[in-house]
Structure 1
Amino acid sequence: MAETNHTPPTEEDTTTTVPRAFGYCAWHQGHADGVRLIDVIEQGSGSGGTVFACGPCIAVNNLVPFADR
């Protein structure tokens, strides 16, 4: 069996590092760090797709991220 070089993260590592996504914010129409999924457009009702927003746009527009519904 092969040895692994992976060291599991410590509790300190998991509490200080939060995964963040870099992507396109549909509200201010530009790229941003920390975007969150806001809506999923079903393929049956058109071309389908996803809509993301950055933190400031979520706060200003009172958006609710998809995962928090």
Structure 2
Amino acid sequence: MTTSDTRRSAAPAIDFTATKAALWLSLTAFFALLVLYFVGVDQGATSVFGDNMYIHEFVHDARHLLGFPCH
């Protein structure tokens, strides 16, 4: 059985313009630094988000796994 219709999957081309690449890089760097702050720097007492220890306790095991001291 032969058909003259050949199915082609037309995947859209990925746009790698410099502006879009710079935007993605900036957003990725911002979120990476934000995660680094919450895991490595936020100590509860020196937190910029108040006087609570919720963030510190939530990422406590990740701090030790990554080698950040907190005791």
Normalized per residue, the structure richer in helix is: 2
TM-score relative to the length of structure 2: 0.23
Which structure is higher in RCO with an 8 Å CA cutoff and minimum separation 6? 1
